[in-house]
């Protein structure tokens, strides 16, 4: 190995980033050390801060270092409408693509019993509590059209039916197996506007 | 913006990495915060350490936090043979691919007067000093076959001629096992012009 320990450690540490293989890690290491030490230091601090402080919103479960995220804390968002998504990035994608003015609930996954992901892992008890306390009147499901997404949708639909809450699901203009945040804003906006009754 | 300040800062800081756009930065942020906080902390420390400690080898200019890199410090490498490369990663590539047992000199660039990169930026005075102090008897050029690489090669060749040092350049052409129609036109043209007697 021709690299010094610090250079080698940086190359290895960069591999924790999804999509970064040995070649990219090497390219990143040299780019930072030769041309952007300030960027490297800034990234180090951002990683450290985020790793230490970011938890989840106690209401919607999205990633935030605050107790309540900005959307849950806002008095300009209608608490009677709740859009259920799989990932924090889906919230951003919907905010960018639509003029939705309700609130969100972030599952951080989908039901997948074989992987040990049940209702508890997705915070569905907390969601059910919000259904039964009477504040929520409408649910919009924006979960992915995958097998696990379907199972998740059906589970939430049955919870909603029991609480007598209207439920819809965004239209399947979203490509099968596609993550919401990889869909272009136009398609996502169309799918959101064209959501159909569900359950 | 639906992200909290720490999450947003991390996404922005990741953009200092080459090849990382907004989507990748977002994907990396969520992957780290949801599944790999230890990786994030390790990466933060590696960035911090490397940014603070890594300088260049005083002999070959490669990136290292030591005074002399491991190859320059080794008594098993022949100091009479010097392979001149453009980047620290080229050293690793040659170490992996060959049984070369000499030393290296890393230019960290190529002559490009329009970009303000002259002999001084490439450490060519230091290289010339090593030519004239009598230790180096052979130079192997492993610079790229680009316009700037050619200019760099010629500059070093004239320095070597003055010091009466033997000089060679690695062959450029069609990769072994490569189909001609998958090779870029520049490489093929170069390989054709540089054809050697055969049989
Ligand atoms: Zn929230
Ligand atoms: Zn060295």
pLDDT of residue A166: 95
Question: What confidence tier does A1 reach under pLDDT thresholds 50, 70, 90?
Answer: low
pLDDT at A177: 65
Residues 6+ apart with CB under 8 A from A121: A108, A109
Q: What is the pLDDT of residues A143-171, one digit of tens each?
A: 987 889 989 999 999 999 999 999 998 87
- Residue B132 inside a domain? The answer is yes
- Specify the residue for token string 């892992």: A121
Domain CATH number, residue A124: 3.40.1360.10
Domain contains B129 = yes
Q: In this predicted model, what pLDDT tens digit does every residue of A38-61 receive, in sequence order?
A: 999 999 999 999 999 999 999 999
The rounded Å distance from CA A184 to ligand 1 centre is 24
In the three-class reduction of DSSP (H, G, I as helix; E, B as strand; rest coil), residue A141 is classed as strand
Confidence of residue A178 (pLDDT cuts 50, 70, 90): low
Domain assignment present for residue A29? The answer is: no
> Which ipTM did the prediction report?
0.83
Percent of chain A with pLDDT over 70: 93
In a domain, A159, yes or no: yes
Give φ, ψ of B153 to 5 degrees: -60, -45
Residue A81 φ/ψ region, left for φ over 0, alpha for ψ in the -120 to 50 degree band, beta for the rest: beta
* B chain contacts of residue A3, beta-carbon cutoff 8 Å: 63-64, 88, 92
- The predicted model scores a pTM of 0.81
Range of the domain at B158: 77-169
Number of domains comprising chain B: 1
Q: Is A147 among the domain residues? A: yes
CA dihedral B34, B20, A186, A63 (to 10 degrees): 20
Instruction: Output the average pLDDT for chain A.
Output: 90
* A26 within domain boundaries: no
Report yes or no on A152 lying in a domain: yes
Asked whether residue A196 carries a pLDDT value surpassing 70, the answer given is no
Does B44 sit within 8 Å of A48, measured CB to CB?
yes
Q: B76-111: per-residue pLDDT in tens?
A: 999 999 999 999 988 988 888 888 999 999 999 999
Does the distance separating the beta carbons of A69 and B2 come in below 8 Å? yes
Confidence band of A172 (pLDDT split at 50, 70, 90): low
Q: Which residue has the higher pLDDT, B183 or B8?
A: B8
pLDDT above 90: residue A182: no
The chain-wide mean pLDDT, for chain B, equals 91
Higher pLDDT, B173 or B85: B85
Q: Which residues of A touch B63 (CB under 8 A)?
A: 3-4, 7, 30, 33-34
Residue A195 has pLDDT above 80, yes or no: no
Q: How far apart are CA B20 and CA B18, in angstroms?
A: 6
**Does B70 map to a domain?**
no
């Amino acid at each position: 190995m021709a690299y010094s320990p610090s250079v080698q450690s940086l190359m290895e540490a960069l591999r924790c980033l999804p999509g970064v293989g040995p070649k990219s890690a090497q390219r990143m290491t040299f780019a930072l050390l030769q041309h952007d030490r300030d960027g490297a230091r800034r990234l180090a601090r951002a990683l450290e801060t985020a790793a230490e402080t970011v938890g989840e919103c106690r209401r919607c479960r999205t990633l935030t270092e605050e107790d309540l995220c900005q959307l849950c804390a806002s008095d300009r968002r209608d608490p009677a409408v709740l859009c259920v998504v799989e990932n924090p990035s889906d919230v951003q994608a919907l905010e960018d693509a639509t003029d939705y003015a309700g609130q969100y609930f972030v599952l951080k996954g989908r039901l997948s019993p074989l992987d040990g992901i049940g209702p508890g892992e997705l915070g569905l008890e907390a969601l059910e509590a919000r259904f039964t306390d009477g504040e929520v009147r409408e649910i919009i499901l924006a979960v992915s059209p995958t097998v696990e997404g379907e199972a998740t949708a059906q589970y939430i639909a049955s919870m909603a039916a029991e609480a007598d809450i209207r439920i819809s699901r965004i239209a399947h203009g979203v490509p099968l197996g596609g993550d919401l945040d990889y869909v272009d804003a136009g398609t996502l906006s169309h799918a959101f506007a064209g959501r159909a009754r569900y359950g």
